[in-house]
Structure 1
Amino acid sequence: MAKQFREIGDTLKNFIASQKIFFTGSAASGSRVNISPRSTDHLHVLGPNEVAYLDLTGSGSETAAHVKADGALTLMLCAFDGTPMILRLYGKGRIALRGTPAYAAFLDRLYGGAEPPGARQIVCLDIDLVQTSCGFAVPLFDHVGERSVLDRWAEAKGEEGLRAYRAEKNAVSIDGLPTGFRDP
């Protein structure tokens, strides 16, 4: 039932736009496998073989560490309502750090140059394989809304508080791998 594609076509682009959550999957040699849920509010299809998301400050930065160590990254979206489908985007990840021209260009292009509260980096995926599968066993869920807790937390911390938090929590992975993260 799985189908493979070289790129994200219009049908799959529309599928991505209609989802509310996606998952990142990453690992590096000798590390734990990391799977993280994320809101699609900050996921963007940049081209037929490129997606990127604005990564918000969190308690760890496993994806960045794994991308730095190995590069392999998978994003998965699945329909929790409507027609069942699972979409996986496979490829090599790269990170655009705060303060870099790539980070600024992304914010200019997609956020009018404004940095959303808690933003820490951009995770980009250069896609080498797009795969769909049936999703027949994925349960149905209703989307109630987005949580505002992270935005409120980031705003309360302020820029200096976020810098200190990221320096403490986001410099290395849980396995001790460097993330490459730095605040400008």
Structure 2
Amino acid sequence: MSERFDALTDQHISFIEDQHIYFVGTAANEGSVNVSPKGMDSFRVINQSLVMWLNLTGSGNETAAHLRENDRMTIMFCSFDRQPLILRLYGRATVFHPRDDGWNQRAAQFPDYTGARQIFEVKLDLVQTSCGFAVPYYQLLGERPTLNKWADGRGREGVEDYWQEKNTVSLDGKDTGIASR
């Protein structure tokens, strides 16, 4: 039922473009494993072996902390409507903050979200599909405007202050790398 691929195919890329949600999994060398749902217009396929996703400000910053110790990342897409399918992207990730060289070039590929916090670039090692026969049907009602309203209300400087208050340390007490302004 599952198939392995060395890189994304055109069919995989088309499937990704149709999805409205994806999940990101990371783990440091020790401590909690993190899986985060992601949405909005925040994912890009650069080529068949390279993807990027824009991380918006949230209550935690586990992914960034984990990558400081271990660069492994899994991204999962699954179909909730048509033909069942699960698509997993396994790879090695690099984090880019707004202060980093290369940020502007990468950020230009996404909408200008006030809450943009990091961009993760993932070099793919393995692509895997599986059936998804047990994934239930769900219907998309729309995107939530809440996160953008929150960030826009604070403004960029207020968002960066929030990073210092809430996003500098992971659940396991690991540095997220965001405090270095």
Normalised by the size of structure 1, how large is the TM-score? 0.94
**AA paired with 1:74?**
T
- Whether the 8 Å contact between 2:46 and 2:52 is mirrored in structure 1 is yes
> Does residue 134 of the first structure (1) align with residue 131 of the second (2)?
yes
Instruction: Return 10-19 or 33-42, whichever deviates more.
Output: 33-42
Which residue of the partner structure matches residue 17 of structure 1? 17
Q: Structure 1 stretches (4+) deviating beyond 4 angstroms? A: none
CA distance in 2 between counterparts of 1:124 and 1:40 reads 17
Q: How many Å apart are 1:160 and its aligned residue?
A: 2.0
Structure 1 residue 40 displacement after superposition = 5.1
User: Using the alignment, how far apart are the partners of 1:41 and 1:178 within structure 2?
Assistant: 27
- Computed over aligned residues only, the root mean square deviation of the Cα atoms, in angstroms, reads 1.3
- For residues 50 and 177 of structure 1, the distance between their equivalents in structure 2, rounded to whole angstroms, comes to 27
Paired residue total: 181
Is residue 98–residue 182 contact of structure 1 (8 Å, CA) maintained in 2? Answer: no
1:113-156 CA-partner distances (Å, limit 9, x unpaired): x6312001101111100000000000000000000000000011
Question: Matched residues, percent identical?
Answer: 43
The answer on 1:167 being equivalent to 2:171 is no
Q: 1:142 to 1:183 in 2, by over 3 A?
A: farther
TM-score normalized by structure 2?
A: 0.96
Structure 2 CA distance, aligned partners of 1:92 and 1:168? 29
- Which of 121, 146, 149 is residue 149 of structure 1 equivalent to? 146
CA distance in 1, matches of 2:16, 2:103: 22
Gaps of 5+ in 2: none
Partner of 2:50: 50
Distance in 1 of aligned mates of 2:11 and 2:179: 37
* Per-residue CA distance 1:7-61 (angstroms, 9 max, x = gap): 0110000000001100001111221010100015210001111111111001111
Instruction: Considering fraction of residues, name the structure with more helix.
Output: 1
